[in-house]
Structure 1
């Protein structure tokens, strides 16, 4: 039972109690007034002789005269009053229920506004505020307290995101210097084979670190939301990313099976390309030789592969940063792929879900809002 229904029931209940008490009081007062007023009085229900306003004996009345005792008069009056009052109370109770429902809705309207704002909020979208207008009552105080809490949360999240972005930027510079020094050392004709093997290993480690930092930068950027939006064709982005992954797929002996339709979305093209690219690279890297990557775009983007079996209970953890399956840790990924996909999708008011693919592999479904712009024929 909703709060509005309970408030309406309380309003109607209080009204009924007050109405019953009022009817009882009226009944009691009228009964007290009727008893002395009708004591010793009888009413004749027939025409009396002219001038017979004085007390008459029963023997002096006409033969067809009906004499009603005072007790019956009192009973008739009180009975009629009771039934009329009950009918009036029922009608008034129906009106009270309707008015109570309307008043409860007006009273609870600020709470609905607070609830609606809270439902729109996410860690990535803390820019919504209630800003309730009205007198300084308890609901206004609650809304202002909620807005103040959101201000503190937004400040905390922004500080954390700035720290990640700044730290990632600061780390990229020494990594770039290290890569340059290693490449210069390897370019020396007098470098020994052992030094070259060590240099190649260091370059590989350096490349992994750079990819990790780039992933952190992208994750921080998408978590802050979209500063600007533009229209873009998702199917064209998919075609471009499939082409860029062709060499990687060939080295892993993986083939693409692509079926897309024109699909117009609004957002950041760079972030959207990163979303699609991460899905495709993950599907290739975590695949088996001779496997396939299926890409479907109709009402949603679905990317599936034929890799190793993925336990259903492990799927939710794949969307957390640096979480990978135990048998996947030998790949070149940094563990940020699906985290970035989820973050970018949320920044575009979309959603991501995944499930194990029958026979092995993973199926990732991305729902992105399609614009209302007319599609080309």
Structure 2
């Protein structure tokens, strides 16, 4: 365990350049005193490692020193080839770069690790987007990624869901996130850090001369987690109490969002005499919940709120009228002559 930690210290200093004992301790989840002992051991082993005192000090490796330790375990080698997502990399324009890097890494591995890493690529594939979704056009993604990397601003024309739908925005992009196959850029605009869907950028102009500085300590992963939690909380503005048949309860995970499924499981009681289960689920609005719950068909009964129950009943009545048939089995509604001919041709062909 200690040998692995010593290698980790070397690799961290090699990639970061300068780190304090406290930063190393937090990263490796040990005490600062342990880091002091590890540094002394590295010194004793002849590693050109030295420390600077003071507020801006820390440990660093002698300029030009590069460790030749490969030290990869079989699991680590396999994970490197499993971690890459070819789709997002290609969308960023890095598909060929990722492939070249993997080939170089493969060539540097010992034969036994090379074989195991190769089997990972042959037997496991990560496909992030959900079913029934076409790939989104992300024409401006490379330009957004370049702005994130170079820290220059962007002028964009953006389409949003509320009026006015098309707006002009100046963005200072801090980072990119891919969520369920969809790309989002986290950027400062109009004095606030906001999230924009890359596919909704209609027009983009790089502002290469307008540089910006990322806020010190900005953590993209932590920001996204907080945004995601806030977004999900906004979607749960109300609650609905429903009864689910055994089949409906089983289908819930395939048809509803994880938040709804989690809430249903947490509130599910014992099945009643008909085998149905009463659950409480979050809803965004009556209109939205009507469409979502109708996906369960006859496997759900809405108990409350009354307005949601009435809305679903109204849709059911409208569907009954639309699909009600006359005595001869023909549709009861009257279509224009041209459409009736087309319909008959489709049925008889």
TM-score grouping bracket, smaller chain normalisation? under 0.3
The structure with the largest alpha-carbon Rg is: 1
Which structure has more relative contact order (CA 8 Å, sep 6+)? It is 1
* Greater per-residue helix proportion: 1
Q: Give the structure-2-normalised TM-score.
A: 0.20
